[in-house]
């Protein structure tokens, strides 16, 4: 299989901002954690993880899909994001140098195990730490489906902090509302508060056990912080209204 994922647009990470995490591109659909560890033979892989799904392309993370080339070995889509975490940043930088090398697959041709070329890119320290903390789950393991509302809240939070989607606005907007918001915007902010409160109530009701609970609780914490922030903005707007009436 001579197919190779296009990662030429993904920027190289300077040594001083390189994290201990790398991203793998163009993995075969039957790739296993053991195959990935063998691919990085000689380097200590601490963990292999994926992040909660997001169907939108992230330019600084995702390889470009070539719609006109069909690889002989089926590959994971670019929006299935697989990462490997190493013990140190220097080890991660060495791992990046293995980009364009082949990884063994369970597919075979005439009884011979075939190999697929994959890409490896570094991840900035801030981005890697944030994704690992808020969105990560063990890769190649069958997990229960996480509540879609929780996924939306978590990705909105990540996007607001990291700006991974430069052309889109985050769903959670309170931090972007200026204190000089016109009086006509008070009702809009109030409606937003009610929507977030309703979303939080529904997630609290759905808290289950295991992996789903972990992400739901994170999302609930984010919505709770958002509600507190909006409450402060609404309070200041009410004070501004009173001042205008006195004037």
Q: Are residues 220 and 189 in the same domain?
A: yes
The phi, psi pair for 145, rounded to 5°, reads -70, 125
Q: Are residues 208 and 134 in the same domain?
A: no
- State pLDDT tens for residues 18-68: 999 999 999 999 899 999 999 999 999 999 999 999 888 899 999 987 666
Q: Among 138, 160, 186, where does a domain finish?
A: 138
Residues of the domain holding 202? 148-246
CATH of the domain at 101: 3.30.70.330
Q: Are residues 110 and 174 in the same domain?
A: no
Q: Among 90, 109, 138, where does a domain finish?
A: 138
Q: Is the Cβ–Cβ distance between 139 and 80 less than 8 Å?
A: no
For all residues of the chain together, what is the average pLDDT? 85
Q: Positive or negative, the Cα torsion across 73, 74, 76, 82? A: negative
Q: Are residues 63 and 32 in the same domain?
A: yes
Q: Are residues 68 and 123 in the same domain?
A: yes
Percent of the chain scored above 70 by pLDDT? 86
Q: Are residues 117 and 211 in the same domain?
A: no
Q: Are residues 125 and 155 in the same domain?
A: no
Q: Are residues 241 and 154 in the same domain?
A: yes
Q: Is the Cβ–Cβ distance between 139 and 53 less than 8 Å?
A: no
Q: Are residues 85 and 19 in the same domain?
A: yes
Q: What is the pTM of this model?
A: 0.83
Range among 97-106, 112-121, 123-132 rated most confident: 123-132
Asked if residue 123 belongs to a domain, the reply is yes
CA angle 185, 218, 134 (to 5 degrees): 100
Asked if residue 10 belongs to a domain, the reply is no
Asked if residue 209 belongs to a domain, the reply is yes
Q: Are residues 126 and 22 in the same domain?
A: yes
Q: Are residues 130 and 154 in the same domain?
A: no
Asked if residue 9 belongs to a domain, the reply is no
Q: Is the Cβ–Cβ distance between 137 and 51 less than 8 Å?
A: yes
Asked if residue 8 belongs to a domain, the reply is no
Mean pLDDT of 153-170: 77
Q: Are residues 132 and 44 in the same domain?
A: yes
Total number of domains in the chain: 2
In this prediction, residue 233 carries a pLDDT of 83
pLDDT tier for residue 242 given thresholds of 50, 70 and 90: confident
Give me the DSSP letters along the chain: -----B-TTSPPPPGGGEEEEEEEES-BTT--HHHHHHHTTTS-EEEEEEE----S--TTTPPBP-TT---SS-B--TTS-EEEEESSHHHHHHHHTTTT-EEEEEEEETTEEEEEE-EEEEEEHHHHHHHHHHTEEETTS--PPPPHHHHHHHHHHHHHHH---TTS--S--GGGS-TT--GGGHHHHHHHHHHHHHHHHHHHHH--SHHHHHHHHHHHHHHHHHHHHHHHHHHHHHHHHHHHHH-
């Amino acid at each position: 299989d001579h197919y190779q994922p296009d990662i030429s647009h993904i920027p190289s990470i300077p040594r001083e901002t390189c994290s201990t995490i790398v991203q793998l591109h163009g993995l075969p659909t039957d790739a296993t954690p053991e195959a990935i560890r063998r691919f990085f033979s000689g380097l200590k892989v601490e963990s292999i993880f994926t992040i909660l799904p997001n169907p939108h392309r992230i330019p600084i993370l995702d390889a470009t899909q070539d719609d006109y080339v069909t690889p002989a070995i089926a590959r994971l889509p670019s929006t299935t994001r697989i990462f490997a975490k190493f013990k140190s940043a220097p080890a991660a930088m060495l791992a990046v140098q293995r980009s364009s090398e082949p990884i063994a697959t369970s597919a075979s041709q005439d009884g011979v195990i075939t190999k697929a070329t994959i890409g490896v890119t570094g991840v900035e320290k801030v981005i890697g730490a944030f994704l690992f903390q808020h969105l990560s789950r063990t890769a190649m393991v069958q997990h229960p489906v996480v509540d879609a509302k929780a996924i939306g809240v978590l990705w909105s939070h990540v996007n607001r902090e990291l700006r991974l989607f430069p052309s889109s606005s985050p769903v959670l907007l309170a931090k972007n509302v200026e204190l000089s918001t016109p009086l006509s915007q008070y009702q809009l902010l109030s409606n937003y508060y009610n929507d977030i409160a309703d979303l939080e109530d529904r997630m609290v009701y759905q808290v289950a056990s295991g992996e789903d609970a972990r992400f739901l609780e994170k999302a609930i914490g984010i919505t709770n912080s958002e509600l507190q922030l909006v409450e402060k903005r609404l309070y200041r707007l009410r004070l501004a209204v009173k001042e205008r009436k006195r004037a």
